[in-house]
Structure 1
Amino acid sequence: MLLRDARLLSSDVDRVGDLRVVDGRIGAVGDLTPRSDERCLGLDGRTLMPGLVDAHVHFSLSAETTIESVVNMSDAELALAESRNARKTLEAGVTGVRAMGAAGVDLHLKRAVERGDVPGPRMVANGRSITVTGGHGHHLGREIDGPVDARKAVREQVKRGADFIKFMTTGGVTTPGTDPDTVALTDDELDALVDETHRHGLHAATHVHGAEGAKAAALAGVDTIEHGTFLDEEAIELMLSEEVTLVPTLSAPYYIVRNVEWATPDTARKTEHIYERHIDSFARAVEAGVTIAGGTDAGTPFNDHGANAAEVTFMIEHGLSPRAAIEAMTETAARTVGLDDCGTLDEGAHADLLVIQGDPLEDSTRLNAPEAVLFGGELASGYLPTEE
């Protein structure tokens, strides 16, 4: 298939041209001559860009007011919910995700998507997130006490097929009784978690709100910090020197603040405390040059799957240029989470593509409703022009 006369847009391409799809991948990009047996579709200047990659989603959560709604669901019920959320995500133009774990169902969903049994984006997934006893996310996580138990927990997730390891360095907003600004893990536990993760060739992602947690995680060698809500200058400098990527998830507090009257009292109190500080933390990290990978925390309270593209707009509003924000949620996110051949228009990359009416660099909200979503060269949602 040849997509003709498109405005080709990626991190390193911005030109009018053509793109050829061969066996689900990008075969060529440029000024191309149609082949005699080739299906040709004229895009008439529409933007053709890589599908979005969301580096932080929770398919097991469906924007419920509280995680308590999910705790007593069976694996079968969770699998159905995850399948629904994966389909909504793909149809909205997110063709790759890092699924952040709950009860181990993500790994089964990933395999089902790869087999073509259910529609969904390309995934990297972990099993259960690791937390201290009673810590953030303990409802669906793997609780640990001490560095030996930490190593065992990592090995358990690896045994089940985890693509990466996630753990909770600080308390969280949605878990009652935990403090987002307080470090939960000891230095010995952090060192054990990161070392064991890297020994298995996986990347280590950690939930962090407070600055002290960010510093401890960076010094332990973590690869990505999720949220980074209260970063101070020392934490930012450590992230730079240790080459730690920030996944800011600006969407998560945004939606709680705007629905605060329906949030639980504990969640509302914590979110109102952190919201402006989160924005300031992100802006200072951007100014300092910290690498940013786009992620939404989709599934958390009022944060619907399928609304992921709004994160691009939030990143633009709070410090990134439009081009940098789109790059953060395409190529950078894909590279950060290990989704090879995604997020670019390079020859050989997966033909996971968005057709956008208009210029998303001028109006990022156009990403919210792509005209068409192609996944492996096949139409996943929307419509394409008729053949030439």
Structure 2
Amino acid sequence: MAIPRLILYRDAALADASGPSLQQGISVLVAGQRILAIRPTSNEGILHPDARIVDAGGSTIVPGMVDAHSHVTLPGGSHWIDRGFDAPDLLLQVAEHNGDLLSHAGVRWARDVGSPQAIDPRDGRKRALALRVRERWRADPTRPKMRVAGTWIAHSGVLQPGLDIEADDGPALLAAAKAQLDDGADLLKLYLDGPKKEEAPWSAEDVRAVVEMAHGRGAFVTAHSGFLAGARVGIDGGVDSLEHGFELDSDAVAAMARQKMFLVSTLAIFRSWASFSSTTTIPRFVSDDGKERIARRRERAVESVRLAHRAGVRIAAGTDFGGGSLRANHLAWEVESLVEAGLKPWEALASATVLGGELLDDPDAGRIFEGGPADFFLVHGDPLTDPTALWRVWRVAWLTVPRTGP
């Protein structure tokens, strides 16, 4: 058996998002894919004669981040909806590029909450492409780790036909949910915006039946909720998390806090849309009406996150890359957006690390500890006070492992 290569990351600061202050003068000894020791640099016991020393002075070690709302088979950009209908082989290539972008941005985990379907050549069944990506990446320690929700489950008339699985009543919803789990989904994604924004597509009882079924099979249920009506049904139906939550009110966030429900924030999409006013000619982004609409929605979404944070709701950070306009390496943008919404920088970093791990129910994700996986990266700057430091990635520990696979 080969002896794991030893690497000592010497004399860095550590930002584990457990509080507002850096731990300075820290060295981390890694063997292969595991952390052997995290000690003060002054402790000479951390030195090992066989270790390759990486002088990390002036940099900060950060736990590998969790993008809690991603779409790994889609590229994002201003034509993001159209790209969902690209050929499956092209979308699988997009996923590989996204995997590179995620890792080099310090994102270790991608929670995929919607992927187009295609025939799987292995068995001839039609299933979400992201399931195939998850299996491929499991064999390669340099690729992002994934949780996959299969494809979107929505009422007819909400998403473009062919992009989702349509369910127009409770029995159809339950059957669609069971089929997704049978295909290998780790969790379920219900699209709780209906054809009319003031109405949810299903009842709370319908949603609760799905939640009970999924929990019985060890799976979580999350819900897209761009509007308040759907959020209320998701809360009453007992889903585990709400995605977006752009129009929450004080009653909704109080109920979420009582139920220990997560909010997955995706505020940065509004910044992205605003940037398109100068980089595209698409009317919804460049017209005065379009820009005003984006500004209003952004203001309301920021207020929703602010309400949730004040109520004690756990917030996990997501980008909606691929299924929205952001790209796979833009999670730092969401951390910045959470600070704008009132979180302290260290709290926003926690949303992108440890709280993302709690959402996944994975004790290793978003954390750094002795005996744990060497899932960390190094930046220049202090992300506990300055979220823009997360854009300045210098080194990614898990990319030092020899890559396997295609």
Normalising by structure 2, we get a TM-score of 0.85
Match of 1:21 among 9, 22, 30: 30
Q: Return closer, same or farther for 1:375/1:138 CA change in 2, 3 Å cut-off.
A: farther
The alignment status of 1:185 with 2:185, answered yes or no, reads no
Instruction: Determine helix, strand or coil for the equivalent of 1:296.
Output: coil
Measure how far apart 1:216 and its partner are.
1.5
Paired position in structure 2 for 1:195:
212
Paired residues for 1:228-247 under 5 Å: 228-247=245-264
TM-score, normalised to structure 1's length?
A: 0.89
Which of 314, 322, 338 aligns to 1:315? It is: 338
Matched, 1:56 2:69: yes
Name 2:17's counterpart in structure 1. Answer: 11
Distance 1:263 1:52, change over 3 A: farther
**CA 1:179 to 1:278, structure 2 compared with 1: closer, same or farther past 3 Å?**
farther
Compute the RMSD of aligned alpha carbons. 2.3
**Within-5 A mapping of 1:266-305:** 268=290, 271-305=294-328
**What is residue 90 of structure 1 aligned with on the other side?**
103
Instruction: Give the secondary-structure state (helix, strand or coil) at the position aligned to 1:344.
Output: coil
Question: Are residues 163 and 306 of structure 1, via their aligned partners in 2, closer, same or farther at CA, if it must alter by over 3 Å?
Answer: same
Question: 1:384: which partner in 2?
Answer: none
Number of residue pairs the alignment of both structures matches: 373
Q: Tell whether 2:114 aligns with 1:114.
A: no
Q: Give secondary structure in 1 for the equivalent of 2:29.
A: strand
1:70 aligns to 2:83 (yes or no): yes
Q: Report whether the alignment pairs 1:36 with 2:49.
A: yes
Query: Which residue does 2:234 correspond to in 1?
Result: 217
Q: Tell me which moved more, 129-138 or 348-357.
A: 129-138
Question: Which consecutive unaligned segments of at least 5 residues does structure 1 have?
Answer: 172-177, 381-388
8 A Cα contact 1:20 1:29, kept in partner: yes
1:277 deviates by: 0.6
Shift of 1:240: 0.9
Q: Indicate the percent of aligned positions where both proteins have the same amino acid.
A: 27
Distance (Å, rounded) in 1 between the aligned partners of 2:77 and 2:294 = 16
Given that 1:129 and 1:137 are in contact with CA atoms closer than 8 Å, whether structure 2 keeps it comes out as no
Distance (whole Å) between structure 2 residues aligned to residue 256 and residue 38 of structure 1: 47
Preserved CA contact (<8 Å) 1:334 1:340 = yes
1:371 partner SS: strand
Q: Is the 8 A contact 2:15 2:384 kept in 1?
A: no
Aligned-partner residue type, residue 46 of structure 1: S
Structure 2 alignment gaps of length 5 or more: 1-6, 118-127
Give yes or no for contact 1:181–1:209 (8 Å, CA) kept in 2.
no
Question: Structure 1 residues 339, 137: CA separation in 2 closer, same or farther (over 3 Å shift)?
Answer: farther
Maintained 8 Å contact 1:245/1:291? yes
